[in-house]
Amino acid sequence: MTVSADEFLRRFLIHVLPKGLVRIRHFGLFANRKRSASLLRCRLLLNAAAASPQPAPAAQIKCPLCSELMLVIERFSSLLSAPPSTAPIKSRLDSS
């Protein structure tokens, strides 16, 4: 689509707020306080299927400190997740 410079500036400036006004970013359908209720109502109005539940974790891992269940977010390959070396770090002071 090709538009003239005047039309481009007109369309661009529609999105610029006047000085003193603040843009409200989280408002309306996806507002955090009512997001789940809004999405449920949208699904009902559209006769859409409900969102699929999150899959259950394959293995439940307990925290060694507090014994609460831990949620595994990401796993690294075994090469990257090697335990850190317990050898003390030798610092070198160069006095040259």
Distance CA 15, CA 17 (A): 6
List phi, psi (to 5°) of 69. -70, 140
- Of the candidates 51, 69, 48, the residue with the CA atom closest to the CA atom of residue 60: 69
pTM above 0.75, yes or no: no
With a cut of 90, say whether residue 31 has pLDDT above it. no
In the three-class reduction of DSSP (H, G, I as helix; E, B as strand; rest coil), residue 70 is classed as strand
Q: What angle do CA 68, 72, 74 make, to 5 degrees?
A: 155
Q: How confident is the model at residue 84 (pLDDT cuts 50, 70, 90)?
A: low
Here the tokens at position 92 are 């070198």
**Residue-wise pLDDT tens digits, 53-81:** 665 555 677 788 888 888 777 777 655 54
How far, in Å, CA of 77 to CA of 32, rounded? 35
